[in-house]
Amino acid sequence: MDRHPLADVELRPAQTRVYKLAGSDADYIHRCWGEADHRLILADDVRLRPDHIMDMTGWKIRIVSPEPLWRFTIADDEAIGVELNDAYEVKNFFTVRGKAIDVLLAYFERLWSAGSDYRRPLHEVAEIDIRESELVSTDWDVTIEHLASNPETILDLAPIDFERLIAELLRRDGMNVQLTPPTRDGGRDILAWSTRSTGRLMQLIECKRHDRARKVGVATLRALFGVVEAERAASATLVTTSSFTPAARQFALSVGARLVLRDYGDVAKWLRRAHDAATNRWF
């Protein structure tokens, strides 16, 4: 199996509850979306990487001991999970729907009641080191302040960290956002939407963390616009740390407001505006 089934669980903004038993397998924690009751159970010996810490933002978290032999994610009335043997090796994959999910819920609630609240160690909230290409801090104000003052360090971000940054900037602009799975994005890295009296307007966002000399060409934009048409989205935005070829800009003009381009200079301005907004909100 190329991908672990827990990596493909779809968390949607409309869900009302998402309960996850991760044990020490923190590779499959998803970012919180929407207003669902997000609860996460970890083993007390779990070893966390910086990307795990970022994905834990927004979860209610408790730790348990000893290590559970199940791993699962419950999203409303559906669940997908893994059963382990006594050596903590994969024994069985399973899916659960409907009333049968009550068994998993009861097991989760027993663990939750017996667990203790997770306390984040100080090293997990240390100041970020952008040049290590990892956003170690979950404090976006710190990250944005650094990048707004040193926009050239955007180029030091890993592609996934650049996507997370753009998602956060969109969120601060009042959008609902969801990062898509990295291997199945279908030409869009982020889904962004707003809800108005006329309905929900979905935008597709593609991020290209390119070196300054590597311009985005027209073929990339044609492919992205094809996804807009196929998914009947309102529009798409391509955000890059470089710039666009003349042919790419001409194509964007030809399709009007349904395709928006944001280059390095636009991202730098976006960061400064976000930093100014975060600074001014305290006065």
Q: Is the pLDDT of residue 197 over 60?
A: no
Give the model's pLDDT for residue 2.
Answer: 54
Give the model's pLDDT for residue 195.
Answer: 65
CATH code for the domain in which residue 236 is found: 3.40.1350.10
271 and 146 in a common domain = yes
Q: Is the pLDDT of residue 76 over 80?
A: yes
Give the model's pLDDT for residue 141.
Answer: 85
What's the structural domain count of the chain?
2
273 and 138 in a common domain = yes
pLDDT tens per residue across span 148-195: 999 999 998 888 889 989 999 998 998 888 887 654 445 678 988 876
The angle at the Cα of 262, spanning 165 to 30, to the nearest 5 degrees, equals 30
Q: Is the pLDDT of residue 235 over 50?
A: yes
169 and 116 in a common domain = no
107 and 11 in a common domain = yes
147-151, 181-185, 200-204, 261-265: least confident range: 181-185
- Dihedral sign from CA coordinates of 8, 11, 15, 16: positive
Query: 108 near 21, Cβ under 8 Å?
Result: yes
Give the model's pLDDT for residue 149.
Answer: 93
135 and 24 in a common domain = no
Q: Is the pLDDT of residue 7 over 70?
A: yes
Which among 120-134, 170-184, 256-270 has the top mean pLDDT? 256-270
pLDDT tens per residue across span 22-74: 998 888 888 787 888 999 999 988 877 766 776 787 899 999 988 899 999 99
140 and 92 in a common domain = no
91 and 9 in a common domain = yes
- Dihedral sign from CA coordinates of 57, 62, 65, 66: negative
Query: In the predicted model, what is the mean pLDDT of residues 218-228?
Result: 93
How much of the chain, in percent, has pLDDT values that exceed 70? 85
Residue 10 confidence class, pLDDT cut points 50, 70, 90: confident
119 and 134 in a common domain = no
Token digits of residue 184: 């199945």
> Residue 158 and residue 179: Cα distance in Å, rounded?
15
Place of tokens 């971000």: 157
136 and 112 in a common domain = no
**Domain end call among 124, 152, 176:** 124
3-state helix, strand, coil split of the chain in percent (to 5) is: 40, 25, 35
272 and 182 in a common domain = yes
Whole-model pTM over 0.75: no
- List the domain range (segments joined by +) for residue 152: 128-280
110 and 30 in a common domain = yes
